[in-house]
Structure 1
Amino acid sequence: MFSPRLRCLLNTSTVIPRSSTLTSSASRINKFQSQFRSYSTPTPTPPLDKGEQAIYDKLKSAFPGKRLEVQDVSGGCGSFYAILISSNKFKGLSTIKQHKLVNACLKEDIQGIHGLQLKTIPEE
């Protein structure tokens, strides 16, 4: 029923410590991972929903820059948005002043949502 090797292991009273088994497994995994070079490919961004698109359009026109991400993180109900925006209009301003500019731009939208996570990055 059991292979000879397994039968031999079952009949011995030698206990193999778990830590050595885990260590050898971890070293095999590390050796395997080091054989392959990891490449990063950009993942396509999903299309924006109506609320995300409205906020995106407003911010894109008010704050031209290299990076703008708007994401509805409330599960699609439009009550909480995460925004990452970079613009040269933020250069030399404190974070609070940068956020005040974005909040003023989205004044009407902010009244209808529950929360806003905002990250601003000044461009050079």
Structure 2
Amino acid sequence: MFSLSLACRRVARSPSALWQVGRGYAAKPETKPSPPPQEMDEGERKIMSKLSSEFTPSHLAVQDISGGCGSFYAISITSDKFRGLSTVKQHRLVNAVLKDEIDVIHGLQVLRLEAHVAT
């Protein structure tokens, strides 16, 4: 009945900086997000590209946490476009941008949605 490969059933990636707890603010936002690293898979690059162009984030990280089969992604994003919006509205904005991707993946985890806080 289920045809998931072993790679899809395990979350085998080592923890990355994306999931490490750090300070929740930055002294100065980046003016432009860095381009996606080449070691990202196609799904990660596509999600990163769409979110970058829509939200011009000061922080953006995308990781395939399905073990490499592209069925579950985790996103950490910070953008001024989220300022003053509830968490639910922020999630709806992200979901609207990623509508086509959400239709074909199993799940999406959004870990951080917040406006940049200047110090």
TM-score normalised by the chain length of structure 1: 0.62
1:8-42 CA distance string (max 9 Å, x none): xxxxxxxxxxxxxxxxxxxxxxxxxxxxxxxxxxx
Higher-Rg member (1/2):
1
Counterpart residue number, 2:60: 68
Q: Which has the higher contact order (CA 8 A, sep 6+)?
A: 2
Counterpart residue number, 2:115: 122
Counterpart residue number, 2:47: 55
Moved over 3 A (4+): none
Q: Secondary structure at the match of 2:77?
A: strand
How far apart, in 1, do the equivalents of 2:91 and 2:65 lie?
Answer: 19
Q: Secondary structure at the match of 2:44?
A: helix
What stretches of structure 1 of length at least 5 have no aligned partner? 1-44
Q: In percent, how many aligned pairs have the same letter?
A: 56
Q: Secondary structure at the match of 1:108?
A: helix
The aligned runs of 1:87-102 (5 Å cut-off) are 87-102=79-94
Root-mean-square deviation (Å): 1.3
Q: Report deviation, 1:47.
A: 2.1
1:71-99 CA distance string (max 9 Å, x none): 00000000000000110000000000000
Aligned AA (1:116) = L
- How many residue pairs get aligned? The number is 80
More helix as a share of residues: 1
